[in-house]
Structure 1
Amino acid sequence: MSQKKKAVRKLMPGLILAALATSAGTAGAAGFQLLEQNASGLGNAFAGSAVVADNASTVFFNPAGMSLLPSGKHFSASLDMVRPQVKFADSGSILPLGITRSGGNGGDAGDWAPVPAVYFVAPIDARWSFGIGAGAPFGLSTDYDKSWQGRFHATRSDVKTFNINPSVSYKADDRVSLGFGVDYQKIDAQLASTANLSAALCANPALGALCGAGALSNLGAPVRVKGSDWAWGYNLGVIVQLSERTRLGLAHRSSVKYHVTGNVDFDKPTIAAGGLISPATAAGLNATLAAAPSLANGAVKLNIELPDTVTLSMSHRLDERWEVLGDLAWTGWSKIQSLDIYRSNGTLLSATPEHWRDTLRLSLGANYQLSPTTKLRMGLAYDQSPVGDTYRTPRLPDGDRTWLSIGAQFKLDANSALDVGYAHLFVNKVGIRDNGHSAVNQASQGYLIGNYDNAVDILGIQYSLAF
């Protein structure tokens, strides 16, 4: 066995564990879907994702592609670095009850995050192949300044998924290949904001004098909801060789239903005596906050279904140098209509209307074989957002986006290759008018009015080996 093969076998378990442990959530595609499951497809804006089968990452995009890989075992490891820009500009927001400090626009709520993935494929016999992959198909991360204008709506949102995807493929004949995989997927979620204690206290008529004098203004309690769950899903696909130069692929990934359980924690401040607040009054206020059921720490639960996807892809080789690729993908985001968090006793802790809609994504790409060892890639895509203007929130102030991508593949030797890619995503400027969709919510959270200027940059690198 060569030293290279030995090294890959030694590294493989560690790389899979690293992918599961370090996958960070930062959406590149619309919503919080992460298309960044390899770097070889990044240069084409992931056009042809369900039909390209030139390395082991086909396990994720279409497991039928495993049957089309050259004979032998295949290994791929990729790392995509995703950097969103999420910048809010206020245009007349209304502060909630009891709050007099606006706190600013929140800074850039985006930051660099890694999205790693690893894959391995091995033949079983002349028709059957087995593969396994590990990566992060969904993710979200926004992090505002803790005292920003919209802190009573959101301060931090962090969603990570870890997916293990064993798969098999079957080569029916020289034209048709089929594939099926099972997904065992974990979600970790953390949602943070600030609870408006001033509004809660000033709802008590007995405290009217203190509230009117401003003695109970600008009181907030940072609150964090954190939970996780494991769930099952599946993916399947078919690839048809229409002619020597043309290939068609169809892939489906199922939705995944989670029953997330975790905890809510309130960091309640201690109200000090002084000015209009006597020691006895301060003691009473602190006792009220400590005993308030709505501010109690404890167990919580949340049901959420992440969407299914259907992707139709085509590739066509024009000549010995040029290849064109295309994708039309549908994502079932309409399964997310409301984000409702309950305490373990069934009491509603918070409800956020979402009313997301299903989306389409269209991508076109081309490859140019510059030399026997170098392939150049380019891509263009238009990606619809599931978020409408009426229900946009600062947790995911999403908009339609256009991808421009470039990349290259360098053959290191007869059996290994290095892929690199870069994409810039132009996100449409969008507005937000979020008052929680009720007078009660506006009193406690305020009315966030403004615009978002967003963009995304993605850098990717991938190593692939056949052995």
Structure 2
Amino acid sequence: MNRHTSQRTIRLGSQASLALAVAAALVLPLSAEAGSFKLPTDNAAGWARANAGGSLFANDPTAVYNNPAAMAFFDGPVLQVTGTAIRPSAKFEGAFRDQQGNPTTGNNPNGFAKFIPFPNLAFAAPVNDRLVLGASLTVPYGLVSEYNPTWQGRYFGTKTSVQSIAVSFSAGFKVNDQFSIGAGILGQRTKAQLNSMLDPYGSAAGLLGAPLLGAPQSGDVQLNVDVKKNFAFGYFVGFEFKPTTQDSIGFSYHSKIKQTLSGNYALYGSDAAKNLIALAPVAFPNAGLPALNTSGDRANAVFDMPAFASLDWLHAFNDRFSLAASAKWTDWSSFSTLTLTSHGETLVSLPQGYKDAWVYSIGGDYKLNPKWTLRAGVGYDETPSNIISRDPRIPDGTRRLLGLGVGYQATAHFAVDFGYQHQFVSDARVKLTNQPALGYGTMDGKFKDHGDVLSLTGTYKF
């Protein structure tokens, strides 16, 4: 095959690479919850209970976003500020090899291992005996993973960052002393960043049948993608029912949020490697391949956030001991395909293969005295990912949650809560052969994962 054919081949691989890279950037988990990149919007007490009970505990301001119906039973204005830091860990055990079967050079670092902080703020105030209004700022989705650009798995991804910040306004209405309803709207800003490495000479070797233009791993090209959506909108509804003076049952539903992220991509590397990419459309003008600008260009991806729902229960055995349970569902099966476009032209449409996932948890509070409260909980958190959609950016496995925490009522108006959660993660099996533009490399092994969460909350009742 001649030089033009090889250039064309590299060009085809580069198109697939760009789409795959953006796709990976947008579907990766933060490993704070196995539901891919979805985060619990809880305070420190919620993390300590393994996220059990939702917002049914008395005067819990997370109800503003989680279930606004629970606000209807607040007995006064309340402001809450929470700082949470998550440290996922994912260590790969196995082998990376290039197109020729040689071990990929570099080391094998943990791509996470740092505490990543994010805030949650909420305020709720009764208007009268029946109506309560609230507002919140939450981070319902997030991810940060970063490997060294020279690590062994660089052709499967180096850096990924995804973050959604939501501002919500909601209302809870008490129908009677046993039943309330609530509803809210939210505006969400999402941004994503991805760095990934291409191996054009590995691509050439695979497509030509031999390393005629150069050895794999000898001319890496870095691909960076930055996309965002300033605002997308959704809604949420809920109810709370108190069948007895000791029991509360809550249900909430959050809608799917439709959004298209827009931004730019850029390529960095040697002129020789980039020229192989740029000349490909010239060598094969009738193949119908979209052009990839090696100087950078626009990129767009439809990235809809799935709907989710929660069923919660709280039982107060007495004034000191309360126990709660939750079952939470996320409609991940709706996240079936991710399509990348540039200037209205489809670059690629990729299946994701996600499945609906559930989180089950049970936890509670024990008041030692009027000042101090102890909390604990356990949970089981399914992963929506599978071996089709799992790579170093998606080292996601089913989790078993263990939470512990303590609360201190400093004054009649101010309380401080601390929560810790450890996540025991099942080994995540990974067996992949890369797309042409990523160099035809392979990875075969598993990720040994775990995670830690620290959360601190301050609550002021006016």
TM-score by length of 1: 0.85
Deviation at 1:192, TM superposition (A): 1.7
Aligned to 1:141: 144
The structure-2 alpha-carbon separation of the partners of 1:100 and 1:86, relative to structure 1 and needing over 3 Å to count, comes to: closer
CA distance in 1: counterparts of 2:447 and 2:267, whole angstroms: 29
Deviation at 1:239, TM superposition (A): 0.5
Q: Quick one: which of 358, 375, 395 aligns to 2:356?
A: 358
Gap runs ≥5 in structure 2: 1-28, 281-290
The structure-2 alpha-carbon separation of the partners of 1:365 and 1:443, relative to structure 1 and needing over 3 Å to count, comes to: closer
For 1:439-458, what aligned pairs fall within 5 Å after superposition? Answer: 441=436, 444-458=439-453
Deviation at 1:340, TM superposition (A): 3.1
Aligned to 1:263: 264
The structure-2 alpha-carbon separation of the partners of 1:210 and 1:398, relative to structure 1 and needing over 3 Å to count, comes to: closer
- Alpha carbons 2:125, 2:132 under 8 Å: kept: yes
Residue type of the partner of 1:221? V
Residue type of the partner of 1:135? T
Q: Is 1:189 the equivalent of 2:192?
A: yes
CA distance in 2: counterparts of 1:164 and 1:332, whole angstroms: 22
Deviation at 1:390, TM superposition (A): 3.6
Deviation at 1:198, TM superposition (A): 1.0
Aligned to 1:165: 168
CA displacement 1:258-282 (0-9 Å, x = unmatched): 11111111012235xxxxxxxxxxx
Q: Quick one: which of 413, 416, 425 aligns to 1:415?
A: 413
Residue type of the partner of 1:262? G
CA distance in 2: counterparts of 1:235 and 1:176, whole angstroms: 18
- Alpha carbons 1:36, 1:115 under 8 Å: kept: no
CA distance in 2: counterparts of 1:204 and 1:459, whole angstroms: 48
CA distance in 2: counterparts of 1:88 and 1:370, whole angstroms: 43
Q: Is 1:340 the equivalent of 2:375?
A: no
The structure-2 alpha-carbon separation of the partners of 1:198 and 1:317, relative to structure 1 and needing over 3 Å to count, comes to: same
SS at match of 2:71: helix
- Alpha carbons 2:169, 2:186 under 8 Å: kept: yes
Aligned to 1:117: 120
- Alpha carbons 2:221, 2:274 under 8 Å: kept: no
- Alpha carbons 2:309, 2:328 under 8 Å: kept: yes
The structure-2 alpha-carbon separation of the partners of 1:98 and 1:117, relative to structure 1 and needing over 3 Å to count, comes to: same
- Alpha carbons 2:64, 2:122 under 8 Å: kept: yes
The structure-2 alpha-carbon separation of the partners of 1:338 and 1:448, relative to structure 1 and needing over 3 Å to count, comes to: farther
CA distance in 2: counterparts of 1:316 and 1:207, whole angstroms: 68
CA distance in 1: counterparts of 2:328 and 2:255, whole angstroms: 14
Aligned to 2:52: 47
SS at match of 1:432: strand
CA distance in 1: counterparts of 2:177 and 2:390, whole angstroms: 49
CA displacement 1:113-152 (0-9 Å, x = unmatched): 0121111111222211110000100111211121222211
Aligned to 2:392: 394
CA displacement 1:287-335 (0-9 Å, x = unmatched): 5455554353100110121111111111111122211100011111112
CA distance in 2: counterparts of 1:286 and 1:379, whole angstroms: 53
Q: Quick one: which of 370, 373, 376 aligns to 2:371?
A: 373
CA displacement 1:170-192 (0-9 Å, x = unmatched): 11111111110101001101122
Q: Quick one: which of 62, 65, 72 aligns to 1:60?
A: 65
Q: Is 1:463 the equivalent of 2:447?
A: no
Q: Quick one: which of 87, 91, 101 aligns to 1:83?
A: 87
- Alpha carbons 1:383, 1:401 under 8 Å: kept: yes
CA distance in 2: counterparts of 1:366 and 1:200, whole angstroms: 55
The structure-2 alpha-carbon separation of the partners of 1:432 and 1:67, relative to structure 1 and needing over 3 Å to count, comes to: same
SS at match of 1:456: strand
SS at match of 2:72: helix
Deviation at 1:389, TM superposition (A): 2.7
SS at match of 2:454: strand
Deviates more, 1:171-180 or 1:141-150: 141-150
Residue type of the partner of 2:389? Y
Q: Is 1:37 the equivalent of 2:42?
A: yes
Aligned CA-pair RMSD: 2.3
- Alpha carbons 2:256, 2:305 under 8 Å: kept: yes
Aligned to 1:223: 223
CA distance in 1: counterparts of 2:293 and 2:155, whole angstroms: 14
Deviation at 1:104, TM superposition (A): 3.0
CA distance in 2: counterparts of 1:172 and 1:263, whole angstroms: 50
CA distance in 2: counterparts of 1:69 and 1:316, whole angstroms: 18
- Alpha carbons 2:105, 2:152 under 8 Å: kept: yes
Sequence identity (%): 26
TM-score by length of 2: 0.85
The structure-2 alpha-carbon separation of the partners of 1:330 and 1:286, relative to structure 1 and needing over 3 Å to count, comes to: closer
Aligned to 2:245: 244
For 1:87-106, what aligned pairs fall within 5 Å after superposition? Answer: 87-90=91-94, 92-96=95-99, 101-106=104-109
CA distance in 1: counterparts of 2:31 and 2:103, whole angstroms: 34
Q: Quick one: which of 152, 155, 162 aligns to 1:152?
A: 155
CA distance in 2: counterparts of 1:200 and 1:343, whole angstroms: 23
Deviates more, 1:38-47 or 1:332-341: 332-341
The structure-2 alpha-carbon separation of the partners of 1:394 and 1:338, relative to structure 1 and needing over 3 Å to count, comes to: farther
- Alpha carbons 2:203, 2:440 under 8 Å: kept: no
- Alpha carbons 2:42, 2:51 under 8 Å: kept: no
Deviates more, 1:42-51 or 1:322-331: 42-51
CA distance in 2: counterparts of 1:330 and 1:466, whole angstroms: 32
For 1:177-216, what aligned pairs fall within 5 Å after superposition? Answer: 177-202=180-205, 209-211=212-214, 214=215
The structure-2 alpha-carbon separation of the partners of 1:347 and 1:310, relative to structure 1 and needing over 3 Å to count, comes to: closer
Deviation at 1:55, TM superposition (A): 2.7
Gap runs ≥5 in structure 1: 1-24, 272-284
SS at match of 2:353: coil
- Alpha carbons 1:306, 1:335 under 8 Å: kept: no
Residue type of the partner of 1:450? G
- Alpha carbons 2:198, 2:437 under 8 Å: kept: no
Deviation at 1:445, TM superposition (A): 4.0
Residue type of the partner of 2:32? G
SS at match of 1:152: helix
Residue type of the partner of 2:455? G
Deviation at 1:426, TM superposition (A): 0.4
Residue type of the partner of 2:193? Q
